[in-house]
Amino acid sequence: MNILTTEDARFIDREVPKQLGVSLEILMENAGRGIVDALWGQYDLFSLDNARSINSFVLFICGTGNNGADGLVAARHLMEQGVPVQIVLVGDTSKCSDLFALQLERCEAMGCIIDMYDEFNDWSNVAVAVEGIMGTGLTGKLRDLTVDVLHDIDTMRSQYNFDLWAIDVPAGLDATTGQIAEGTLAYDYTVTFGAIKQGLLLYPGKAVGGIAVVAPLGAPWQKVLGDRDITVTIDSNLAEKLINYRIPMAHKGVNGNALIIGGSNDMIGAPILAAEAAVHSGAGKVTLGVPEVIKPVVQGRIIPEVMVTSTEAHKAMLEGRQVVAMGPGLGRTSDIPDFVDSILDSYEGPLVLDADALYALGHVGSVDKDALRDGEIESIYAVERDLPYCVMTPHLGEFSRLIDLPIKWIERHYITLAREFAKKHQVVLVLKGIPSVVALPDGTVYVNTIGNAGMGSGGMGDVLTGVIAGFISQGYSLQDSAVLGVYVHSRSADILNDTKAWGYTPSDVSTSLGCVISELLGE
């Protein structure tokens, strides 16, 4: 499923009329109709009076841009259906958008009850409130007046207990970054147009949008996107498309030979988790390379399916592998950067870099903060060290070190930075955050939509590395392995989460991976 940014939405509303001959007025008509359909999906709008009084109505709180105009269209459709509606207007109507003026004229002509916000005081009869104060047209911080209006709405809904809906995105939510302006409210539902807005999938926006309902625009807008970078959700539909049945005569030789490299005196659990996850995700043969000194302890603890070898003989260790995943528990001692470089120099096959292998790389590029702030995409990121084609799986702290940028900045420009990193370095980036994203060298970004809070425990990332390596060893491309890996890993945790809110372990996630694969194959 596609995801749209503010810039994409603006592009669509400019290009669809030009390229497909469907006017913005028609798109708006469909958007308004979509709001009505979504409301009917949740309520019997003819029985609104059940709640508190016989005079209940749906309230549309409309700003003077096209977001407000969508609300006016929805109000008109509800009037036709005999559903009681009222409209309140926020802002200066003398400065409204052209389509707002047109829709307002229509609502006035049909006798809709319309008040300016200051004149409205009938909150006790509001059954449902729909906010169209602003959508993708937000600029900067919310003005004081808007914050006051939102505060009133919040007070009134606490008092009168009505549901609050947002049109397209909550007023104050940046539809691209998911950042929220001071004063932004939390909603019960958001009806968003064409495709889900990116800001509704990223925190803190994800926490305020409520249940997202996507309403169609009535024209195949995907056709006008051309070569724009696209953003897509990671969900079961996508994973089902990516997973392949195994041929009946598949044997261990066909399912690949994976090598995991990691471990140090203090950290033996991480490489074990990664190697075991590669086994559980279906790799034919898995070998774990660890320093000689910890080999006996690792052998004593790991499942028997994993062979353990010593990293001291690393040239021989690399031979015949379909994938090498390096990093879990490798440690940060001064010899590690040279060790990592020597593996990168000697091995030319598919590679996954995680954890301490990423740390050992140090800064690999730099970010121009001014360009980032101003959205000058091309000059945001400069490469300082070339990387081999590989999958990199940093969490935010590791990514912060790689690009030499504080985490706060990364959180604010999450998808943009992931995309630019993957494009400029030509690698597959799995940025592990909430949500995790997979960015591809061609600029496509996948955003994970599943997973749960129980996953926040040490070792989960090591399992993900093993899963991705396991898929690569079975012949999946690096990018498909990354996307499938993220899905299967989170879905396995979601299955466990059905019975345990938290407290399930990364090893539990690992051993449940096969159930997810069965689910995807419909077995």
Ligand X SMILES: NC(=O)C1=CN([C@@H]2O[C@H](COP(=O)(O)OP(=O)(O)OC[C@H]3O[C@@H](n4cnc5c(N)ncnc54)[C@H](OP(=O)(O)O)[C@@H]3O)[C@@H](O)[C@H]2O)[C@@H](O)CC1
Q: Given the complex with K ion, which of 167 and 238 has the nearer CB atom?
A: 167
Q: Given the complex with K ion, which of 34 and 135 has the nearer CB atom?
A: 135
User: How many Å apart are CA 258 and CA 274, to the nearest integer?
Assistant: 11
Backbone angles phi, psi at 132, to 5 degrees: -125, 40
Q: Given the complex with ligand X, which of 183 and 327 has the nearer CB atom?
A: 183
**Of these, 38, 48, 87, 137, which contacts ligand X (CB under 6 A)?**
137
Residue 286 bridge partners (DSSP)? 258, 306
The residue range among 99-107, 147-155, 158-166, 307-315 that interacts with K ion, by the rule CB under 5 A, is 158-166
**Of these, 45, 56, 58, 64, which contacts ligand X (CB under 6 A)?**
64
Give the footprint of K ion on residues 80-139 (CB under 5 A).
135
Q: Given the complex with ligand X, which of 215 and 488 has the nearer CB atom?
A: 215
Q: Considering CB distances under 5 to 8 angstroms, the limit depending on partner class, which of K ion, ligand X, none binds residue 140? A: ligand X
Q: Given the complex with ligand X, which of 28 and 509 has the nearer CB atom?
A: 28
Q: Is 168 in the site for ligand X (CB under 6 A)?
A: yes
User: How many Å apart are CA 101 and CA 416, to the nearest integer?
Assistant: 35
Q: Considering CB distances under 5 to 8 angstroms, the limit depending on partner class, which of K ion, ligand X, none binds residue 260? A: none
Q: For residue 15, give both structure tokens.
A: 């290009």
Non-local CB neighbours of 124 within 8 Å, separated by 6+ positions: 52, 53, 160
Q: Given the complex with ligand X, which of 179 and 474 has the nearer CB atom?
A: 179
Give the footprint of ligand X on residues 208-227 (CB under 6 A).
217
List C-alpha distances in Å: 159 to 42, 123, 477.
21, 9, 55
Q: Given the complex with K ion, which of 150 and 516 has the nearer CB atom?
A: 150
**Residue 287: which of 272, 308, 305 has the closest Cα?**
308
Q: Is 70 in the site for ligand X (CB under 6 A)?
A: yes
> Is 105 buried (19+), middle (13-18) or exposed (0-12) by CB count in 10 A?
exposed
Strand 57-62 with 85-89, pairing: parallel
Q: Is 469 in the site for ligand X (CB under 6 A)?
A: no
197 is in an annotated binding site: no
User: How many Å apart are CA 102 and CA 167, to the nearest integer?
Assistant: 19
64 is in an annotated binding site: no
The residue range among 23-31, 255-263, 325-333, 350-358 that interacts with ligand X, by the rule CB under 6 A, is 23-31
- Residue 442 Cβ, how far from ligand X at the closest point, in Å? 24
Question: CA dihedral in degrees (310, 313, 316, 317; nearest 10)?
Answer: 30
Give the footprint of K ion on residues 166-205 (CB under 5 A).
166-167, 171
Q: Determine the 3-state secondary structure of 450 from DSSP.
A: coil
Contact (Cβ atoms closer than 8 angstroms) between residue 435 and residue 450: no
Q: Determine the 3-state secondary structure of 358 from DSSP.
A: helix
Q: Determine the 3-state secondary structure of 196 from DSSP.
A: strand
Q: Is 139 in the site for ligand X (CB under 6 A)?
A: yes
285 is in an annotated binding site: no
Q: Is 143 in the site for ligand X (CB under 6 A)?
A: yes
Contact (Cβ atoms closer than 8 angstroms) between residue 181 and residue 142: yes
Binding site for ligand X (CB under 6 A): 9, 12-13, 27-28, 31, 63-68, 70, 91, 95, 97, 134-143, 146, 167-168, 193, 217
Interface residues with K ion (CB under 5 A) are: 135, 166-167, 171
